[in-house]
Amino acid sequence: MIHGTGGGGKAEIIVALDEPSLDDARRLMDRLAGRAKFYKVGLQLFTAAGSAAVEEVKRHGARVFLDLKLHDIPNTVGSAVRSARDLGVDLCTIHLSGGPEMCAAAVSEAGDELRILGVTVLTSSNQATLEECGVHGSVGEQVVRLAKMGYAAGVRGFVASALELPLLRAELGKDPLLVIPGVRPAGTEVGDQKRTATPAEVVRGGATHLVVGRPISRAGNPAEAFDGILREILG
């Protein structure tokens, strides 16, 4: 079971396998052998390779963050979580906007070894995005609103941007996992992310896990890039 962080209490790096094929993902993991111990399998890779992607990560001796952002009726989400549990994944995302009944269904099927992560507001969204979707109030308010609802339904891990970390820690305390995507070392491209932060900023904010994709996977030397981020978060 995942209780906290690796690296002596510091935040742990999850490398995003946002790759078009299993062969591409395998090559990246081979280049990070002996370093990365946690990988994210998201929509792109899972759609291309299915459960084989999860099996390949485990074959490399690493843990699996299955990031499918499940959002459906409670029975369907619960069934999908049960399948993820049977695959042996460690973390699995749901969209908190599915509501408390859906969240509770996911938690009830997760068992003791799989931790459910509730996605609050995507890091590609900002205030204008929320307004266009009919959500009024600040991004921070919406993040806290969804997280508190999920926590009441039994969710004990959340995905948000680094900007909301202090708010979530203040509201929910030290217990939940806080998994932060959109991590960009200083000087790197932000891509389609709108709410980003550096690794050091994320650690200072109280994150337990950092999800890093392109700054590692698209680097000329992924192992060297990984080591640089690790040095930054270990201070």
pLDDT value, residue 194: 55
Distance between CA atoms of residues 56 and 28, nearest Å: 12
Distance between CA atoms of residues 224 and 235, nearest Å: 17
Distance between CA atoms of residues 133 and 52, nearest Å: 35
Residue entry with tokens 């094929």 = 21
pLDDT value, residue 162: 87
Grouped pLDDT means (10 residues each) for the chain, 235 residues: 41 96 98 97 98 98 98 98 98 98 98 96 85 88 96 97 92 95 70 68 91 94 96 86
Residue entry with tokens 């080591």 = 227
Q: What is the DSSP string of the chain?
A: ---S-SSTTS-EEEEE---SSHHHHHHHHHHTTTT--EEEEEHHHHHHHTHHHHHHHHHTT-EEEEEEEE-S-HHHHHHHHHHHHHHT-SEEEEEGGG-HHHHHHHHHHHTTT-EEEEE-S-TT--HHHHHHTT--S-HHHHHHHHHHHHHHTT--EEE--GGGHHHHHHHHTTSSEEEE--B--TTS--TT-SS-B-HHHHHHTT-SEEEE-HHHHTSSSHHHHHHHHHHHHH-
pLDDT value, residue 191: 55
Q: Which residues are catalytic?
A: 69
* C-alpha distance from residue 196 to each of 75, 100, 164, 211 (Å): 34, 28, 11, 11
Distance between CA atoms of residues 14 and 199, nearest Å: 12
76 exposure class (CB count in 10 Å sphere: 0-12, 13-18, 19+) = middle
Residue entry with tokens 């002996």 = 34
Distance between CA atoms of residues 165 and 171, nearest Å: 10
pLDDT value, residue 198: 86
Whether the model clears a pTM of 0.85, i.e. scores above it, the answer is yes
* Residues in CB range of 142: below 8 A, 6 or more apart: 120, 121, 130, 135
Structural domains of the chain, ranges and CATH numbers in brackets: 12-234 (3.20.20.70)
